[in-house]
A and B are shown apart, each in its own frame.
Chain A
């Protein structure tokens, strides 16, 4: 039973390029969360998705960032026209459906470390 899978583990992009981060939730999990960890900081919530729906994007920057979780395939966090300040570790977490909100631990992937040069 594979855990949450994120790829790539490391991603280097030049300023202005696009970054695509992928997250495959645990089997049977239909809820996906993205978090960003800036250097020397804790994790900050970005977005919460269920299949084909964005439920809460209150933590997403207003521009250049988008997320999707299609019916088939992994969740994608897309960052357009990356800047140096986007360099961070991006973590994906998943949880199963039908649980009481807030009551379950989220299972985290190993993260994608994005470096913008």
Chain B
């Protein structure tokens, strides 16, 4: 069974600080996909990244970066130099290759950036 754990529920940072969101997953599949989504206060879900289980390269996109470590089953997300617009709930999710594209979400991290 697939499971995603995001231990930190709410994280407050002062603007321009970095913030790292932890995501730990469980799966029995050898082929799987990991995702991060952002849910701003307006409520929609914004896709940020997809990573497959065979690609452990870290990725950077602007102020966002992701660290994928299969050895610890983690897919952590860092926002560098946070801005007020980064205030949102961030969800980590997992999809197994045999899972019909079904996403298993963590409970989310509420990030509050204080100006």
Contacts and interface: CB of A to CB of B under 8 A. Distances in A.
B64 interface: no
A100 B54 CA distance: 14
Contacts of A56: 100, 102
B47 A102 contact: no
B33 A113 contact: no
A104 B101 contact: yes
A107 interface: yes
A1 interface: no
Given A42-B105, A42-B108, A104-B50, 6 more contacts: A40-B107, A100-B97, A101-B99, A110-B44, A111-B44, A111-B45
Interface residues of A, number: 31
Interface size class of B (residues with CB under 8 A): 20 to 34
Given A42-B106, A45-B103, A55-B100, A108 B43 contact: no
A31 B43 CA distance: 22
Interface string B18-53: 000000000000011101010000111101001010
29 contacts: A33-B102, A41-B107, A42-B106, A43-B45, A43-B91, A43-B103, A45-B102, A45-B103, A45-B104, A48-B100, A59-B102, A89-B43, A91-B45, A101-B98, A101-B99, A102-B31, A102-B32, A102-B95, A102-B96, A102-B97, A102-B98, A102-B101, A103-B52, A110-B42, A110-B43, A110-B44, A111-B43, A111-B44, A113-B43
